[in-house]
């Protein structure tokens, strides 16, 4: 009897784990859509609830029944030593495809999207780990120094003021990952926490968060903790990031099936490979192609060269910005170290003066 009961409990546990994994797999993973999401809305960051909380910015997710919906930015208790790389929508194979966020030792590429509050398009400037304690940058993070004392101040220069919420495609951000970001992408990662997953599920069921209802200006833009969509700590968007344009097709028509997405990606890779092969073998052909075919080949080659040249310029510009950012960060760290050294010297001087006056008082008890 007890043995059968144990077996039933084991089967139920396995089914629950499998169901939870399948449920998460349907949220945000491997989704491709025919049109891009609305712009990032303008909203204020809720105050940090306490030490150890990490800011995860809001983003547009997809619901097959209602289209794009806003997942409010929120504070979560971070795994010690890990940083959050936000997910982003990227143009690939002719569609907008969602790449989920993850936890890791470094902040990787997130499409160059300016999510705000430390996520200006590359890297993270909202804080840093020092051992097992997370320190917050007050210049970009909403911190109450009474509740949180692990703080510092470092000014951040934002180069991307766009509110566009996707990478590539028509009107998208043209950023490309740096070699460092590509390397960090292959580091060990951890998927979104259970609180984050539940936060997204709850958002997907709230009509006020659907873009078709709020027109890019959600009533719940950010929360103090995951899943808390009511109360005084909920922040409403001040404005939409850009003018909202209703899509011309239904969500079900806009959703791309996995087979269709894989086929498009395969055709895209095959076309690029064929174009490179034709260009490489153009001078070795033993026959004369029709004039129209040769013209098409030349036009395609010129287009490919122009695209590669433009992409090279963007990558070079992005690398230069990354070098400048690193130099700026080093300068700020050196300046901070000098200020700290000066403060320690002043503190030592003050202590010596107090010891000196204390000794005089002992020799002159009448004062």
Q: Is residue 248 domain-resident?
A: yes
* Domain stop point among 280, 301, 327: 280
Please give the residue range of the domain that contains residue 156: 18-280
> Has residue 197 got a pLDDT over 70?
yes
Q: Is residue 101 domain-resident?
A: yes
User: Over the stretch 78-132, which tens digit does the pLDDT of each residue have?
Assistant: 999 999 999 999 998 899 999 999 999 999 999 999 999 999 999 999 999 999 9
User: Over the stretch 223-245, which tens digit does the pLDDT of each residue have?
Assistant: 999 999 999 989 999 999 999 99
Q: Are residues 334 and 229 in the same domain?
A: no
**Considering the chain, what percentage of its residues have pLDDT values greater than 90?**
57
> Has residue 27 got a pLDDT over 60?
no
Average pLDDT over residues 211-229: 97
Q: Are residues 101 and 168 in the same domain?
A: yes
> Has residue 319 got a pLDDT over 80?
no
- Backbone φ and ψ of 18, nearest 5°: -65, -40
Average pLDDT over residues 167-180: 94
Q: What is the pLDDT of residue 288?
A: 40
- Mean residue pLDDT across the chain: 80
> Has residue 166 got a pLDDT over 70?
yes
HEC profile of 308-330: HHHHHHHHHHHHHHHHHHHHHHH
Q: Is residue 111 domain-resident?
A: yes
To 10 degrees, the CA torsion angle through 287, 289, 295, 301? Answer: -50
Q: Are residues 65 and 139 in the same domain?
A: yes
> Has residue 308 got a pLDDT over 60?
no
Give SS3 for 255. Answer: strand
Q: Is residue 115 domain-resident?
A: yes
Query: β-strand 88-92 against 166-167: which pairing, if any?
Result: parallel
> Has residue 307 got a pLDDT over 90?
no
Q: How confident is the model at residue 297 (pLDDT cuts 50, 70, 90)?
A: low
Length of the chain equals 367
Q: Is the pLDDT higher at 316 or at 106?
A: 106
Q: Are residues 146 and 101 in the same domain?
A: yes
Q: Are residues 253 and 341 in the same domain?
A: no
- CB 140, CB 131: distance < 8 Å: no
Q: Are residues 139 and 183 in the same domain?
A: yes
* Domain stop point among 225, 260, 280: 280
- Backbone φ and ψ of 71, nearest 5°: -100, 110
Q: Is residue 162 domain-resident?
A: yes
Q: How many domains does the chain have?
A: 2
Q: Are residues 333 and 192 in the same domain?
A: no
Q: Are residues 127 and 207 in the same domain?
A: yes
pTM over 0.75: no
Q: Is residue 7 domain-resident?
A: no
Q: Are residues 333 and 194 in the same domain?
A: no
Q: Are residues 275 and 321 in the same domain?
A: no
- CB 222, CB 44: distance < 8 Å: yes
Q: Are residues 114 and 263 in the same domain?
A: yes
- Token output for 314: 């963007």
Q: Is residue 180 domain-resident?
A: yes
211's CB contacts (< 8 A; 6+ apart) are 37, 38, 60, 67, 68, 69, 70, 244
> Has residue 2 got a pLDDT over 60?
no
Q: How confident is the model at residue 355 (pLDDT cuts 50, 70, 90)?
A: confident
Q: Is residue 297 domain-resident?
A: no
Q: What is the pLDDT of residue 341?
A: 82
How many Å apart are CA 204 and CA 223, to the nearest integer? 15
**Considering the chain, what percentage of its residues have pLDDT values greater than 70?**
70
Phi-psi region for residue 171, left (φ > 0), alpha (ψ -120 to 50) or beta? left
Q: Are residues 77 and 152 in the same domain?
A: yes
Q: How confident is the model at residue 326 (pLDDT cuts 50, 70, 90)?
A: low
> Has residue 352 got a pLDDT over 80?
yes
Q: At what angle do helices 291-363 and 258-281 cross, to 10 degrees?
A: 110
């Amino acid at each position: 009897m007890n043995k059968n009961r144990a077996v039933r409990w084991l089967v139920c546990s396995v089914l629950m784990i499998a169901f939870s994994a399948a449920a998460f797999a349907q949220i945000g993973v491997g989704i491709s859509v025919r049109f891009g999401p609305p712009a990032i809305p303008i909203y204020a960051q809720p105050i940090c609830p306490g030490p150890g909380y990490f800011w995860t910015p809001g983003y547009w997710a997809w619901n097959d029944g209602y289209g794009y919906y806003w997942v409010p930015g929120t504070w979560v208790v971070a795994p010690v030593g890990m940083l959050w790389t936000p997910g982003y929508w990227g143009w690939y194979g002719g569609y907008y495809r969602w790449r989920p966020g993850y936890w890791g030792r470094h902040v990787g590429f997130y499409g160059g999207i300016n999510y705000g509050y430390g996520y200006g398009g590359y890297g993270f400037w909202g804080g840093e780990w020092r051992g097992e304690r997370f320190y917050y940058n007050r210049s970009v993070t909403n911190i109450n120094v009474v509740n949180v004392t692990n703080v510092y101040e470092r000014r951040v220069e934002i180069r991307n003021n766009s509110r566009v919420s996707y990478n590539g495609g028509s009107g998208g951000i043209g950023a490309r990952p740096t070699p460092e970001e590509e390397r960090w992408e292959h580091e060990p990662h951890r998927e979104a926490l259970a609180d984050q997953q539940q936060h997204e599920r709850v958002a997907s069921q709230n009509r006020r968060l659907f873009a078709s209802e709020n027109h890019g200006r959600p009533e719940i833009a950010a929360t103090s903790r995951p899943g808390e969509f009511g109360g005084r700590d909920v922040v409403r968007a001040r404005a939409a990031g850009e003018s909202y344009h209703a899509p011309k097709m239904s969500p079900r028509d806009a959703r791309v099936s996995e087979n269709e997405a894989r086929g498009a990606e395969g055709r895209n890779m095959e076309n690029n490979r064929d174009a490179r092969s034709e260009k490489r073998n153009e001078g070795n052909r033993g026959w004369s192609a029709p004039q129209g075919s040769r013209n098409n080949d030349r036009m395609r080659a010129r287009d490919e060269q122009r695209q590669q040249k433009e992409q090279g310029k963007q990558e070079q510009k992005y690398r230069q910005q990354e070098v400048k950012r690193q130099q700026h960060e080093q300068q700020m760290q050196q300046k901070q170290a000098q200020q700290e050294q000066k403060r320690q010297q002043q503190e030592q001087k003050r202590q010596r003066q107090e010891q000196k006056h204390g000794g005089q008082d002992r020799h002159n008890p009448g004062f």
